[in-house]
Amino acid sequence: MEKRKVIFDTDPGQDDAVAILTALASPELDVLGICTVAGNIPLDLTTKNALKLVELAGRTDVPVHAGCDRPLGRALVTAEHVHGATGLDGPDLPEPAIAAGSAHGVDFLIETVRAHAPDSVTLLALGPLTNVALAFAKAPGIVTRLKALVLMGGGCFEGGNITPAAEFNIYVDPEAAAMVFRSGVAITVLPLDVTHQMLSTRARIDAFRALGNKAGAAVAAILSFSERFDVAKYGSAGAPLHDPCVTAFVLDPSIFEGRMVNVEIETGSLITRGMTVADYWGVTDRPKNAFWVRSGDADRFYQLLTERIGRLP
């Protein structure tokens, strides 16, 4: 079986952690590296958390590189109110014994894509798109070399989660998102429309804990902590699990359904900054530039995650 080569660009983050751990446990994927970006928490913490995760997974062969510490042209907005002061509040993970690589994450991303055959590397973006936009601006040739960009971000039918109009990842750096969506890269979007269907109910959290391994216990602790905010906010039976939808889509796209649409990013309005204007019903003649995932099978999604996390130490 030929493995699918992937690079993560991420701001871990509890949900990022589950996405990364699932990938590191999946034999179908060759994780070439992890680039970190400021988002859920500042860059030093997202990088530390990525290092903790590769150690937890027993995958210290996967390099981690720190990228951009702020958006392209705005002050950084973070989300400690959701993820806690460390971004990985919940499990008691040890301080990492390994260090991040010396190369800037953007340069690592560029050089890694260049080092592999065209149409062989998929970029998995779980946070603000600052690194991705900067890489595309610095090395436009990698846009056509990438197989695909699969990202978590945006919302159409579900609106936003940081403002009424905007999802957090896009809101933090809307200029970067606008550059990426206009780049011509093949994009798949896992928006709030689908992630809000993937609720981490008590039974699903207990299934991770029942695995009996360190990774399962950590994921159960992660989800138990992070759910408190969204359960209170939405009044649902569990919290949405956002970023793992990206990994699950790459592993088994049949779990999900969507369609090609045009997506534009609002950058000028104070009220709708970061809004993903998804023309789901085709009411304009703007060219379709993204596959927008609207729904998914939550039971199959959690079965996949639980089975993969169960393979880890």
Give catalytic residues, as residue numbers. Answer: 242
**Integer Cα distance of 13 and 6 in angstroms:** 19
**Three state DSSP letters for 34-59:** EEECCCCCCHHHHHHHHHHHHHHCCC
Beta bridge partners of 277: 264
**Integer Cα distance of 19 and 305 in angstroms:** 9
Nearest to 136 by CA among 171, 176, 172, 169: 176
| Residues 151 and 178: beta-carbon distance below 8 Å | no
Beta bridge partners of 152: 190
**Integer Cα distance of 159 and 172 in angstroms:** 16
Angle at which helix 214-234 crosses helix 202-209, to 10 degrees, equals 170
Nearest to 67 by CA among 23, 33, 113, 22: 33
Nearest to 261 by CA among 276, 249, 246, 278: 278
